[in-house]
């Protein structure tokens, strides 16, 4: 099996339960996520530095020969794409992506990353973060914090609509 990004480099495996690794770009092909043993020793086996190459700009072909893999955007601080084969279910991780998945507690829900609901939830969370950041900047720290505190108080209050109407009336 060849690396889907380097294309001519053969993927290597350390043991029967380890993922396939590319010694050139540092990518990882994971066929059986449930039974793989993913430790730093099985993943970080290459000293090769891929440098500024951005392998996320392109998808690749399934190393097992099933055609073009599908991509899913993972919205973290620095978003990236994971690729998966729809036939064999193998997942390609560019260098460092597995560590980011593990650090963000997404390893147990890998298959859901390609679902529309997961993608929508990630997009909504990212949009909310941007919205709150912009409002914090525009309102200033003090007013923003007071508004968020009031929001928490109103969130579960049975008369929150009345309180919001009162607020609107009084600020006009």
pLDDT tens, 82-119?
Answer: 999 999 999 999 999 999 998 888 888 888 899 999 98
Give the model's pLDDT for residue 36: 52
**Same domain (yes/no): 60, 99:** yes
Q: Does residue 4 belong to any structural domain of this protein?
A: no
Do residues 76 and 140 both lie within one domain? no
Mean pLDDT of the chain: 86
Q: In this structure, are 35 and 19 located in the same domain?
A: yes
Asked whether residue 95 falls in the same domain as residue 142, the answer is: no
The verdict on residue 3 lying in a domain is: no
> Are 1 and 11 in contact, with CB atoms under 8 Å apart?
yes
- Is there a single domain that holds both residue 148 and residue 107? no
User: Same domain, yes or no, for 102 and 143?
Assistant: no
Q: What is the distance, to the nearest Å, from the Cα of residue 32 to the centroid of all Cα atoms in its chain?
A: 19
Whole-number pLDDT of residue 70: 93
Indicate the SS3 state at residue 44.
coil
- Kindly report, residue by residue over 146-164, the tens digit of the pLDDT: 999 999 999 999 999 999 9
In a domain, 149, yes or no: yes
Q: Which backbone phi and psi does 82 adopt, to 5 degrees?
A: -105, 150
Give the full edge-to-edge strand order of the sheet including 70-74.
12-13, 20-21, 28-30, 91-93, 80-84, 70-74
Give the number of domains in the chain.
2
Is 75 in the same domain as 92? yes
Could you tell me the residue range of the domain that residue 147 belongs to? 122-171
pLDDT in tens, 23-39: 999 999 998 665 554 55
Please indicate, yes or no, whether residues 90 and 126 belong to a single structural domain of this protein.
Answer: no
Q: Both 146 and 73 in a single domain?
A: no
Tell me which of 114, 136, 152 is where a domain ends.
Answer: 114
- Same domain, yes or no: 105 and 126: no
- Please check whether residues 67 and 134 belong to one and the same domain: no
Q: Is residue 73 part of a domain?
A: yes
- In a domain? residue 50: yes
Residues 64 and 149 in one domain: no
């Amino acid at each position: 099996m060849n690396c889907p990004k380097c294309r001519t480099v053969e993927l290597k495996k350390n043991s029967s339960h380890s993922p396939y690794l590319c010694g050139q770009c540092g990518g990882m092909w994971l066929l059986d996520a449930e039974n793989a043993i993913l430790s730093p020793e099985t993943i970080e086996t290459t000293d090769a530095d891929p440098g500024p190459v951005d392998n996320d700009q392109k998808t690749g072909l399934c190393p097992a020969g099933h055609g073009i893999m599908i991509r899913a955007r993972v919205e973290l601080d620095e978003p990236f794409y994971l690729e998966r084969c729809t036939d064999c279910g193998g997942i390609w991780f560019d260098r460092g992506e597995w560590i980011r998945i593990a650090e963000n507690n997404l390893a147990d829900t890998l298959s859901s990353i390609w679902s529309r609901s997961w993608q929508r939830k990630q997009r909504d969370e990212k949009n909310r973060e941007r919205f709150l950041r912009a409002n914090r900047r525009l309102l200033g720290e003090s007013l923003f914090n007071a508004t968020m505190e009031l929001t928490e108080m109103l969130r579960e209050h049975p008369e929150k609509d009345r309180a919001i109407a009162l607020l609107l009336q009084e600020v006009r």
